[in-house]
Every structure is written in structure tokens, then in C-alpha cells.
Structure 1
């Protein structure tokens, strides 16, 4: 008579057969049979991260682009409309700099430091200080939206292929998630690192716009390619003044980074605009130094502003 002992594991079934001896030799056979698991077809579904809702102030190119990156439950606030008190989430401010006072007037004061996130270019610190916005969030938007409704173009460069856009503050991670959902890069920085990058972008926009304005019709790309020596001298001058004023040390190769970004957005036109928020900060440093009997820290910058009649004094 034959008996069978069956032992199962996750991979194999072991059958140990033995027979009643018919001679002095005991016949033992051991057979291992691979057990194949049932075939199953499974498809991997990538779950898109849901972007949290936000109030978006400003229905221009950037505001609409941010709304398109959302999950459909954002609130778009247009000019003259009020920001609600009870809509949870960040308040993404995408207006012109000169409209910021009106934005504050339409926003409950309890939400100013808690939820406001500013996407504006330029030197914002003096305005923040005047409004008591020491904890306000900020985004350095190194991306471009050419026309209303068009997808944004990320400003990745050959020196920073990981992208340059950065966010700071309470809602920085939420902003980064939204931008990444829209196919853009965004890193989250602490305040000291963010300030350095903010100043670099201020130097970029102040230098390239001013040099371009000296050569009517020049784009950002033309400034980088045809007037490199001029913009190089101005970058060096403005960087030195900013570092001294803020007691910081910039990372090496700033000129290379800023010129690389200019190649990425070579089609941008140039003009000296929003003076108070851009070149005006450097001109204020010059006036302060001269009033104290010290040399102008930005003599080239001052001379070119006067050449273009941007300033007269």
C-alpha cells in the first residue's frame, strides 16, 4: 500500500512517496514539483496627486495657468472682488506689484501672514516690512506663460537642469505640488537660501532689462549674446552691492547661471519697468551711500539710468 505525505510551501509542493519494503532495500523516492501560481493580469494605475484648493488672486496669464494646474476646486478672485475668510488653503497672489495694496485691502487681515503667497518679481522686502508681512510666503517663478491659456514653459537651463523655481513659507510644499502637477519644477527653500535666490533674480531682471533698454529692440537673448560684456559688468556691480547690503555671500558662477536663464527665455523683450520694485532698490543704495559721503556702489547702473532718463537727480 502506498501512502502520500504532502507538504506545501509558497513555491513548491513536496510529495514524499514511500512503499512497504519487499526486500532488504527500502525504496524511497522524493519528488519536488514546482507549483506555478495562477496567472493574473494586473495593470498599474498611477494615482495622480490631488492638488489642494487655493484662492487665486488675479486672472491673468499666471493666475489662469495656476488654476489649470488645480483639481477644479480653486476660487479665482478678480479685480475688485473680495478674498473670502472661510475658504481654506493658500491665497496665491498673481497681480501686478502696483496692485498689491488693493489685494491687501480686499483680504481679511487674519489671513495676511497665515495664507498669502506672492508670485511677484522684484524686491518685496521693504513693502513686506511696511505691511507687517514678515511671514508671508513667496515664489520665485522661473517659468513663462506667453499667452493667456497657453501652458507655461519651465525655465530650466543648462547650468540648472533641475529647474530654478523656488517657494518659501507655510504653503511652499503645496505650491510646489501644484506646479509639479502642471509639469513644472519647484524646490522648497528655507528663508536664507530663498533670499539669496530672490536677490539673484532681482539682479537678473535689473541688469538684463537695463542693458536691453540701451539697445532698442534687443531681446533678453540678444543682450546675452551680443552685449555680454555690458551685462557682465552690471551683474558684477549689482551683486557686490547686494551682498554688502545684506551681509551675504552668493554662490560662485552667478553670471553663468543668469546668462543660462537668459538663453532659456531668449525671446523675452527688454524694458525698464516697475522701477520701484526692481532697479529702484539698487538706486536707493546708491543714493544712501552718496548722502553719507561714500562712493556710489553702483556707478554704472546709476549712469545708465540717467542716460535713459529713468532718473534725473
Structure 2
């Protein structure tokens, strides 16, 4: 990605910036493609045993939280500033959360940040190295999407059920092709500017409680690790998680494509100067995704996605990792045309052709 967030940088941001790893944005579930409505994010949170250790803090208009756990038993350090007041759920102390030792696949910014959140008992496995069969706990996969086949080959099949994927984009077709079923996933909305630096939570003005979400049998363990690092994380069931995943996918596909039509435009420029274009595309893609998956998004999807764009306004735009992002929507177009039906994403298709991304 042209300085787009790569899968390894979970920002899950649609963009993986070379100096900023934001873990993308999946916004609240159940949205119908309507605009200018108040967003509501539903979903289950971490187990009560974990939530009991959480403290809600209201910050003034001149400050926000940036927690960094320097040692397993240290308190979080407060710094960073923000023009808006926000309410953040955070850990009162690192000692309140038990972090399960894990295998971390990928030694990039995200993998290193996850390792720093642990208590020193994690095992870091770099790309190409075998994943041991006798190390219990979750296996946190923090590589690029295109490296996933290699990761699977390096992991004993008996441990596949312990894999937790932090990648951006639409992974379901790949999961199905590998027989992974409802694999554990994390929608990560935090940024890691440089290797070794503490992550910064991705909080928006419409979702001050944070957007990061985890799904699967290791969901609570992942949430505990992130909370130990001062980050927000909720644990969701399959349906609400899928809706948030699709919102994140829509954000990446829409903002990157509109930005590519206006060379040099950042995510913030797209949100500010080309709101009509991106709003129309968001509505179109949300409608197509809802029809394909048989779901209903919550109202206010455009507002939520634009709020996220404002939170990462300096990020550059470019259509990258087509197979995992815009390619999923184009596959819906190809399927409809093959069946003699109307294209559900005509604007998306026209702009892809305009940029010679598809023929």
C-alpha cells in the first residue's frame, strides 16, 4: 500500500503507513446505509472477571490517555494530548490483568508491540520459522496477508485452532479454503509509529470507547493482553464481529479508492473535500455487503467511517492488496454479471476501471 497500512500493521487501518501502523477500523455493527444518524455500537465486552479490573476515566478537553506498560508490574504512564474530551476504559494497573504467554508470529511493529504487552513469557517466531507444537496458548499472527499460506504451512495442523489473525481485509474466503471455519480474529484499531514504541489507541469522536474487537476462543486472552498495554478491546460474538469486520472493509475500500482518484489526497482530504464521493461509495458498498451476507448494518455507518477518517486524517491513500480488499466487492460484481443480474456496485466498478485496476 502506498504507505498504506499493511496487514502486518494492523491498524487494521486500511492503510499501512510506513511510519504509522494503525489497526484498522471496524465500526459498530447493524447498519443500514443511511446517513447522518447517531451511531450506536453494540457488542459484548470482555468477561466480567476482566471487566471488574477496569476503570473508566473521563479526560478534560486538553488531554487524553496514552498508556504504556514498561514492566509487567508497572503502572501505566500518562501522556499525549488531544483537543477533544473522551471517556476511555483502561486498566488501573498492569498487575490487575493476567496475560497468557503466547506465540507471536511476525516481528514487525505490531508483533513487537504485542510482545511488549506480555509478561516476558512469549515466544516470538519470525516469518519462515516453524511454530512449535509444545508451546501452549494462542498463536498471534501479525504478518501480511500474502504470508498467511506460509504461516499455515509452518504451523502444526493440531495447533491451527489456536491461530489468532490480526490481518486487515476480507479473510473469510481464505479461511474457508483452508478449512479454518470460524477462526479467531482481531480487528485492531491502534497505531504503532515505530518499532518498539508503545501503541496509541484508535479512538474516534463517535466511538470514544474504542473500536478494537476480538472474536474466538482466545478473544478474552487477547483483550486482556491489549488492556494490559492500555488499549481498549471488546470481545464479540460471531455476528456482531462480522458486521464490524465488514465496516472496516468498507472503510478501506471506499476511502482508498476515492483517494486514488485524487492523487495526493490523504484520508482527511477525502473526508473533508470529497465527502459526497466517499459517502456515495460507502452507501453502495454497504448495501452490497448487506445483501450478500444477509445482514443489516446499524444506522450511521457513513458518520462512523468518516469519524475514523478524521482520526487518521494524515494517512495517504492508494488501492492496495486488491485481493483482500476492493477485490471482494468486485467479486460480487462479477458474480452478478455472470448470473445476468444488475451490478450492485456500479460506482465502485466504474472507478476501478477509470484507474485501470480492472478491465
Shared fold (TM-score, shorter chain, > 0.5): yes
Q: CA deviation at 1:142?
A: 1.2
How many angstroms apart in 2 are the aligned matches of 1:288 and 1:107? 34
Cα distance per residue 1:109-168 (max 9 Å; x no partner):
01112x000000000000000000013100001112122222212111111110010000
Larger Rg: 1
1:307 corresponds to: 354
| Contact 2:104–2:125 (8 Å) recurs in 1 | yes
Pick the aligned partner of 1:65 from 102, 105, 113. Answer: 113
Q: CA deviation at 1:45?
A: 8.9
1:83 aligns with 2:131: yes
How many angstroms apart in 1 are the aligned matches of 2:160 and 2:267? 35
**Greater Cα offset, 80-89 or 215-224:** 215-224
Q: Which 4+ residue blocks in structure 1 deviate beyond 2 angstroms?
A: 44-50
Pick the aligned partner of 1:228 from 275, 279, 304. Answer: 275
TM-score (norm 1): 0.84
Counterpart of 1:258 in 2: which secondary structure? helix
Q: CA deviation at 1:79?
A: 1.5
> What is the total number of aligned residue pairs between the two structures?
268
How many angstroms apart in 2 are the aligned matches of 1:186 and 1:300? 34
1:252 corresponds to: 299
How many angstroms apart in 2 are the aligned matches of 1:219 and 1:146? 17
2:178 corresponds to: 131
Q: CA deviation at 1:46?
A: 7.8
1:203-214 pair list within 5 angstroms? 203-214=250-261
Gaps (5+ residues) in structure 2? 1-91
1:54 aligns with 2:102: yes
1:287 aligns with 2:287: no
Q: Which has the higher contact order (CA 8 A, sep 6+)?
A: 2
TM-score (norm 2): 0.73
Gaps (5+ residues) in structure 1? 1-43
Question: Cα RMSD between the aligned structures?
Answer: 1.3
How many angstroms apart in 1 are the aligned matches of 2:261 and 2:141? 32
2:150 corresponds to: 102
How many angstroms apart in 2 are the aligned matches of 1:272 and 1:161? 28
Cα distance per residue 1:258-313 (max 9 Å; x no partner):
1111111112111111100000000000011011111110000001111111111x
Q: CA deviation at 1:253?
A: 0.2
